[in-house]
Amino acid sequence: MRTAIAKRALLALLCLWGFAAVVWIASDPGAEVSDTEFIAQKTAAAAALVACLAAARMAQRRRWLPDTPEKTIKTKERRIIMIEEIKEIRSYLEKRLDRIEAAMLLGTKEIIGIEEAALLTGYKVKGLYTLTSEKRIPHYKKNGKLYFRKSELEAWLTENKVLTDAKIRSKAVTYVVTGRMK
């Protein structure tokens, strides 16, 4: 921020210097100025004007100033796009924060509602309604609302354990040796 202000202040100073040079060039010679002094002063003023114009070109190249109105419009469009992107990022972060808060609350409660059950299981709410209507998931119903015990949901999620290859081989060896399953 300070750099931008300093650049613009330098540019304003150069513009004033250039304006003073133009005024000096257009002015009439003083009464007590010799021809050589007059030519030297006008040459210095012209050099100041050229330096000012060169500084303005450099400022445009380094994007301290917009070169054309078209670029100004493009800059405004970019700002609008950036504002929209920032709004999208903000809404995404707010949603993530809501999920984090819900997960933190989920850790403290034993009896949870359908929304929290969806968060815990990874199922969609619609899928949980289907499972409860088919009575395939442990649930409770009170005043038309569905409730779940967190421990029962966790047990339901882990009830169909898939054995590892090592465990299957161990059971197979046990069956071959003893003739019965454990």
Average pLDDT value for residue range 96-125: 84
**Which residues on adjacent β-strands are paired with residue 141?**
146
pLDDT surpasses 90 at 126: yes
Rounded to whole angstroms, the Cα distance separating 64 from 78 reads 16
- Of the candidate ranges 3-7, 112-116, 146-150, the one whose mean pLDDT is the lowest: 3-7
Report the predicted TM-score, pTM, of the whole model to 2 decimal places.
Answer: 0.43
Rounded to whole angstroms, the Cα distance separating 18 from 55 reads 10
pLDDT for 142: 92
Between 179 and 130, where is the model more confident?
130
Average pLDDT value for residue range 37-66: 62
pLDDT for 156: 93
Most confident range (mean pLDDT) of 41-55, 100-114, 149-163 is 149-163
Per-residue three-class SS string for the chain: CHHHHHHHHHHHHHHHHHHHHHHHHHCCCCCCCCHHHHHHHHHHHHHHHHHHHHHHHHHHHCCCCCCCHHHHHHHHHHHHHHHHHHHHHHHHHHHHHHHHHHHHHHHHCCEECHHHHHHHHCCCHHHHHHHHHCCCCCCEEECCEEEEEHHHHHHHHCCCCCCCHHHHHHHHHHHHHHCCCC
pLDDT surpasses 90 at 80: no
Average pLDDT value for residue range 81-88: 83
pLDDT for 93: 81
Average pLDDT value for residue range 4-11: 61
pLDDT for 120: 86
- Of the candidate ranges 51-55, 88-92, 143-147, the one whose mean pLDDT is the lowest: 51-55
Between 98 and 45, where is the model more confident?
98
pLDDT for 16: 60
